[in-house]
Amino acid sequence: MDLIPDVFASNVFDDKVMRARLPEKVYQSLHQTIEDGSPLNPELANAVASAMCSWAVEKGATHFTHWFQPLTGITAEKHDSFINPSPDGRAIMEFSGKELIKGEPDASSFPSGGLRATFEARGYTAWDPTSYAFLKGKTLCIPTAFCSYGGEALDKKTPLLRSMEALNRQALRILRLFGNTDVKRVITNVGPEQEYFLVDRDMYLKRKDLIYTGRTLFGAKPPKGQELDDHYFGSIKPRVQAFMEELNQELWKLGIYAKTEHNEVAPAQHELAVIYTTTNVATDKNQLTMEIMKKVARKHSLVCLLHEKPFAGVNGSGKHNNWSMSTNTGINLLSPGETPHENAQFLLFLMAVIQAVDDYQDLLRLSVASAGNDHRLGANEAPPAVISIFLGDELTAVLDAIEKDAPYEGAERKHIRLGSDVLPRFPRDTTDRNRTSPFAFTGNKFEFRMVGSNDSIACPNMMLNAAVADALMQFADELEKAESFNDCLHELIKRTIIAHKRIIFNGNGYEDAWIQEAVNRRGLLNLRTTPDALQKLLDEKNIRMLTEQGVFAESELRSRYEIQLENYVRTVRIEALTMTDMTRKEILPAVMAYSNAAAEGVSKRKTLDPSAACAYETKLLKRLGALSDSIDQAAEELEKDITELDSLENVTFQSVHIRDIIIPKMAELRTACDEAETLTARSYWPFPTYGDLLFGV
Ligand code: ADP
Ligand code: MG
């Protein structure tokens, strides 16, 4: 086997390849262009494109594609070959700067929420030179942004890049105030931890619900679930191990730092963590990782389920979004420093995050809202739908002391005066690591745990970046005018603590008492479903902030509102239809066949012994009969509810109908079917059970 350092990034047109293959001058000016964020000139583009093409062709590539992230949530690609006619009637492999910089996919079928009328089908894709091109199979993939002809973003990358820029702008203002002149850029970093399930492919193929919706819509609880906690960090089964090994190899080739792998809490659940990197690159790589997970699973006769809640009754899957801000000189702005000066700066950035999360709870919540994640947020193992911040006891005590001008009760009792005192040291990795907080400070980064396993991390990060940029902007506005920087800073931090400490909660986030306190006493938002959350997107304060930070135009927000709600409605509609389909074509026939067998049993017994009471069979028949009736009735009602849904014009009404009528009816139908499963003989049940799926690999 090849050595990992040789394999690593072998399929990426990265800095090392560029340095080796581009003329020195071209390489330098490409670097400069990327750094300044200025547009590429055509000459430069041609030189880069030609180097890319020869590199890719040497590695066996025949095609290229602009690789983008439309609002469907997955990545899109349209392949073109490098082939061009040559004068002698043969073919040459060519790729021009124009083709590199800009593409024009026929975009009419991608969701635009009314931004691009279908007659103006053209959208365009534009190269994001900060994310390296890579090879997938025989195709050179060029990460691109996707916009309408009017320049409106139709994808997730564009607003993410804008949000990074917004944060950079405001954070630089703050750093200048602290006398820092050498930092050129502030970058946001993300390291996602990806959870997933693996199930056997043959079993998967027997379940329409998994095929159509990615989750099980039926399934009685097996005798064993996750109650023994024997799966978490347990030894990895050989078949899963083989999958993980191949996955790592594939990811490494693509320059993805796959680092940690382990079994998760639920049976058949696993996790993969990669090393953090710049947000837009981390986002691209996470999209790619999910795609490759699915591909590699297939090769091992497995299916990788990325749905947030593939199974009821055991944990769902999330994606922990570890987020931090750092400078181009390598300083982590969320890392407590050594000197009074550094401490004060750290605290100001920390306060910006606290204010941002409190002011924009709604945006963070809705950035992770989807039909799938609704099953998870607020369910017993997952973070609640209420957003709060875990800071740990030490840091909270420091803030307390500042707020009250009281001595800090740490090692040395003393008053803290920001900017002139050294803060007490707070241990990096606090022992009381909190697993129940949706937004936890973990020493030098924040871990946002509400993100769904299937979601792109672009959305939560663009909202987080924008909200923090907004807080930093307000701080900078005030501090730039201050007569005494240190006094103003101290007062500002104190005021911010008082105004936003309601968002800080170090206790157990899974307790009911917390939700009561959060909502009733602290006035925090509890947005339990996607429709509840999305209603907030168009609140005036949110539109104002997002447009002011240059992350979204108002028209883009309105279109996203439509698209996200539409996604919700369509997803649940497919689930409801799958349920009635499985009920009528598989479950009811199975129950009937088993009932018939029981009835036949009765008549056979009676032939042998006319006086037999046949108590067991009769009881069974009665119960199955009653259940079949309720199943049929619930299915019929669900069918009616779907018809009604289709008659509603407006997507907002549809989403409410889904939330209030369809989802409860689906639950009712499921309960009846699951009970029938527990009564029906194994050999009659039409598809693999929870026990088969969860313990079958
Ligand atoms: P923890 O034990 O707190 O979960 P790990 O070191 O296991 O921390 O890291 C979890 C994830 O957080 C990894 O993806 C890691 O790369 C990422 N991470 C670590 N440091 C940072 C940072 N400064 N900014 C963003 N992500 C980070
Ligand atoms: Mg973690």
Tokens of 500: 């936003």
Residue 321 Cβ contacting ligand 1 at under 6 Å: no
Position 151 scores a pLDDT of: 85
Q: Which ligand is nearest to the CA of 429?
A: 1
Ligand 1 atom closest to 443 (CA):
3
In ligand 1, the atom with minimum distance to the C-alpha of 429 is: 3
Which residues in the chain come in under a pLDDT of 50? 118, 429-431
3-state SS class at 127 = strand
490 lines ligand 1 (CB under 6 A): no
319 CB less than 6 Å from ligand 1?
no
pLDDT on residue 431: 42
Q: What is the pLDDT of residue 426?
A: 55
Residue 529 CB–ligand 1 contact under 6 Å = no
Atom of ligand 1 nearest to the CA of 257: 16
Other beta carbons within 10 angstroms of residue 518's beta carbon come to 22
Ligand 1 contact, 282 CB (< 6 A): no
* Domain spanning 4-154: CATH superfamily: Glutamine synthetase, N-terminal domain (3.10.20.70)
pLDDT in tens, 329-356: 999 999 987 777 788 999 999 999 999 9
Tokens for 177? 């105030």
Map residue 423 onto helix, strand or coil. Answer: coil
Give the atom of ligand 1 at the shortest distance from the alpha carbon of 326: 23
Which pLDDT value is given to residue 436? 86
Q: For the segment 588-638, what is each residue's pLDDT rounded down to a tens digit?
A: 999 999 999 999 999 999 999 999 999 999 999 999 999 999 999 999 999
CA–centroid distance, residue 12 to ligand 2 (Å): 28
What's the N-to-C CA distance of the chain in angstroms?
Answer: 27
Give the architecture (CATH level 2) of 567-694. Up-down Bundle (1.20)
Predicted pLDDT at 28: 92
Rounded to whole angstroms, how far apart are CA atoms 665 and 458?
33
DSSP string, 256-317: --EEEEEE-SSTTEEEEEE--EEHHHHHHHHHHHHHHHHHHHHHTTEEEE--S-SSTTS---
Question: Considering only CA atoms, which residue is closest to atom 24 of ligand 1?
Answer: 324
The CA distance from 579 to 669, in Å, is 8
Number of H helices, E strands in the chain: 25, 20
Nearest CA to ligand 1 atom 17: 191
The whole-number pLDDT of residue 686 equals 98
pLDDT of residue 163: 98
Evaluate: CB of 335 within 6 angstroms of ligand 1.
no
Task: Write down the domain spans for the chain.
Answer: 4-154, 163-552, 567-694
Distance 276 CA to ligand 1 centre (A): 7
Residue 273: CB within 6 Å of ligand 1? yes
Q: What is the pLDDT of residue 201?
A: 98
3-9, long-range: CB within 8 Å, 24+ apart, which pairs?
4/252, 7/249, 7/252, 7/253, 8/252, 8/253, 8/255, 9/252, 9/253, 9/254, 9/255
Residue 306 structure tokens? 């990325």
Q: Rounded to the nearest whole angstrom, what is the distance from the C-alpha of residue 478 to the centroid of ligand 2?
A: 35
> What confidence score (pLDDT) does residue 5 get?
83
Pairing of strands 439-441, 446-448: antiparallel
Task: Give, for ligand 1, the residue of 276, 277, 439 to mutate: max count of ligand atoms closer than 8 Å to Cβ.
Answer: 276
Q: Write out 641-668 in H/E/C secondary structure.
A: HHHHHHHCCCHHHHHHHHHHHHHHHHHH
Distance between Cα 91 and ligand 1 center (Å):
49
Paired sense of beta strands 123-127 and 102-103, if any: antiparallel
Residue nearest to atom 2 of ligand 1 (CA): 442
Q: What is the DSSP letter of 78?
A: -
- Mean pLDDT score across all residues of the chain: 92
Report how far ligand 1's centroid is from the alpha carbon of 591 (Å): 50
Query: CA 29, CA 35: separation in Å to the nearest integer?
Result: 10
Residue 191 Cβ < 6 Å to ligand 1: yes
Distance separating alpha carbons of residues 186 and 184, to the nearest angstrom? 7
On whether the CB atoms of residues 218 and 695 are closer than 8 A, the answer is: no
Architecture (CATH level 2) of domain 163-552: 2-Layer Sandwich (3.30)
Q: Is 461 in the pocket of ligand 1 (CB under 6 A)?
A: no
| Separation between Cα atoms, residue 509 and residue 382, nearest integer Å | 9
Report which secondary-structure segment, H or E, holds 197.
strand 186-200
Please return the burial class of 261, using the count of CB atoms within 10 Å of its CB with bins 0-12, 13-18 and 19+. Answer: middle
Q: Which atom of ligand 1 is nearest to the CA of 444?
A: 23
444 lines ligand 1 (CB under 6 A): yes
pLDDT digits (tens, 9 = 90+) for 503-554: 999 998 888 899 999 999 999 999 999 999 999 999 999 999 999 999 999 9
